[in-house]
């Protein structure tokens, strides 16, 4: 096998429970995966949140659409348990924001009625024909605490009634920074991978400000133009966008970063 990432050190900022596959792909190509999760996913366990989740699940059949924003929105709660079973029902349709979310729904035994053919974000869902005339439609968006409002805002502008079911929260993990500080001090970090705005922002929070300017010079691989624009505003100089959020696409973009396959715009 041609190991095109010969000892290239790649920072993987995915949550710890989602990083294994990407790290293994990088290592199979001869790279060194530096595991540094800048985001952790945790259940909402306070009484108020638990009651809200139970209330939302109790009423799911009153909606025409259930829209799952992410894999975590699917896996963080046992929608397929005996008590909370979401059964296939002709009056309720399920939408997935992207292919990974759709796969998680199918593994959970839930049908997927709408999946964008192109794209993997709110804009792609909103572009689907089924989402154009929403007058009188009730939608339940299953997501983490907080997040973008564009999906709900646009659906409401099209006549829908939109509620949220927030089933998890994003937090900054407590981890040892010493290995990353050493790599930065020795100029031995070659590429950074980031898959969300939260992960990008947390990376800067978790590192001493004296390292930020050095960080900005390292090639950054992101999975959307939205993240690219925010990263550029923050100060990153060399940013590459993958053609999909998959681990294989991230790997291929990392390889292009280190083999001269990209012409940096700035």
Q: SS in 3 state form for 60-91?
A: HHHCCEEEECCHHHHHCCCCCCCCCCCCCECC
Give the C-alpha separation, 204 to 38, whole Å. Answer: 9
Task: Enter the tokens of residue 201.
Answer: 């922002």
Nearest to 115 by CA among 100, 133, 96, 91: 96
Q: Does 266 map to a domain?
A: no
Say yes or no to pLDDT of 66 above 50: yes
Query: Quick one: 164 and 189 in the same domain?
Result: no
Least confident of 69-83, 139-153, 195-209: 69-83
Q: Does 1 map to a domain?
A: no
Q: Quick one: pLDDT band at residue 78, thresholds 50, 70, 90?
A: low
Say yes or no to pLDDT of 86 above 80: no
Query: Quick one: 159 and 63 in the same domain?
Result: yes
| Long-range CB contacts for residues 110-114, cutoff 8 Å, separation at least 24 | 110/74, 110/79, 110/80, 110/86
Query: Quick one: 15 and 51 in the same domain?
Result: no
Residues 158 and 133: beta-carbon distance below 8 Å:
yes
Which of 170, 204, 223 is the last residue before a domain boundary?
Answer: 170
Query: Quick one: 140 and 185 in the same domain?
Result: no
Task: Enter the tokens of residue 161.
Answer: 């009634």
Which of 137, 170, 203 is the last residue before a domain boundary?
Answer: 170
Task: Assign residue 25 the CATH number of its domain.
Answer: 3.40.50.10090
Task: Enter the tokens of residue 175.
Answer: 């981890």
How far from the centroid of its chain's Cα atoms is residue 125's Cα? 15
Q: Does 78 map to a domain?
A: yes
Query: Quick one: 35 and 55 in the same domain?
Result: no
Query: Quick one: 26 and 65 in the same domain?
Result: no
Q: Does 149 map to a domain?
A: yes
Q: Does 130 map to a domain?
A: yes
Q: What mean pLDDT do residues 169-190 have?
A: 92
Residue whose pair of structure tokens reads 């990974």 in the numeric block: 100
Q: Quick one: pLDDT band at residue 208, thresholds 50, 70, 90?
A: very high
Q: Does 265 map to a domain?
A: no
Domain count, the chain: 2
Q: What mean pLDDT do residues 31-54 have?
A: 84
Domain that holds residue 145: 42-170
Q: What is the pTM of this model?
A: 0.82
Query: Quick one: 161 and 212 in the same domain?
Result: no
Give the C-alpha separation, 204 to 12, whole Å. Answer: 14
Query: Quick one: 22 and 86 in the same domain?
Result: no
CB neighbours (10 Å) of residue 244? Answer: 17
Percentage of residues of the chain with pLDDT beyond 90: 63
Residues 6 and 30: beta-carbon distance below 8 Å:
yes
Give the C-alpha separation, 177 to 199, whole Å. Answer: 15
- Strands, sheet with 40-43, edge to edge from the N-terminal-most edge strand: 40-43, 161-171, 138-144, 65-68, 93-96
Query: Quick one: 82 and 164 in the same domain?
Result: yes
Buried-exposed string 113-146: b where 16+ CB fall within 10 A, e elsewhere: ebbbeebbbbebbbeeeebeebeebebbbbbbee
Percentage of residues of the chain with pLDDT beyond 70: 91
Say yes or no to pLDDT of 239 above 90: yes
Q: Does 63 map to a domain?
A: yes
Query: Quick one: 34 and 46 in the same domain?
Result: no
Query: Quick one: 224 and 159 in the same domain?
Result: no
Query: Quick one: 187 and 94 in the same domain?
Result: no
pLDDT of residue 265: 62
Which of 170, 193, 208 is the last residue before a domain boundary?
Answer: 170
Least confident of 48-62, 72-86, 211-225, 241-255: 72-86
Query: CA 41, 43, 46, 48 torsion: positive or negative?
Result: positive
pLDDT of residue 80: 47
pLDDT of residue 44: 78
Q: Does 2 map to a domain?
A: no
């Amino acid at each position: 096998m041609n190991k095109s990432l010969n000892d290239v050190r790649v920072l993987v900022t995915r949550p710890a429970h989602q990083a294994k596959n990407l790290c293994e792909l990088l290592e199979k190509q001869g790279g060194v995966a530096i595991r540094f999760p800048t985001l952790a996913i945790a259940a909402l366990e306070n009484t108020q949140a638990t009651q809200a989740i139970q209330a939302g699940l109790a009423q799911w059949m009153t909606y025409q659409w259930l829209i799952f924003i992410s894999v975590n929105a699917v896996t963080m709660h046992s929608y397929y348990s005996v008590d909370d079973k979401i059964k296939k029902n002709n009056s309720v349709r399920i939408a997935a924001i992207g292919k990974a979310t759709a796969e998680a729904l199918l593994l959970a035994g839930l049908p997927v009625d709408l999946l964008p053919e192109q794209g993997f974000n709110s804009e792609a869902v909103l572009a689907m024909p089924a989402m154009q005339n929403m007058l009188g439609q009730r939608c339940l968006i299953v997501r983490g605490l907080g997040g973008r409002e564009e999906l709900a805002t646009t659906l409401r502008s099209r006549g829908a009634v939109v509620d949220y079911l927030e089933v998890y929260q994003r937090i900054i993990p407590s981890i040892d920074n010493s290995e990353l500080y050493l790599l930065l001090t020795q100029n031995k970090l070659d590429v950074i991978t980031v898959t969300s705005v939260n992960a990008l922002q947390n990376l800067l929070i978790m590192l001493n400000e004296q390292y930020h300017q050095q960080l900005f010079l390292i090639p950054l691989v992101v999975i959307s133009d939205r993240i690219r624009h925010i990263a550029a505003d923050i100060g990153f100089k060399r940013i590459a966008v993958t053609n999909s959020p998959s681990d294989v696409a991230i790997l291929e973009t990392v390889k292009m970063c280190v083999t001269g396959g990209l012409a940096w715009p700035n």
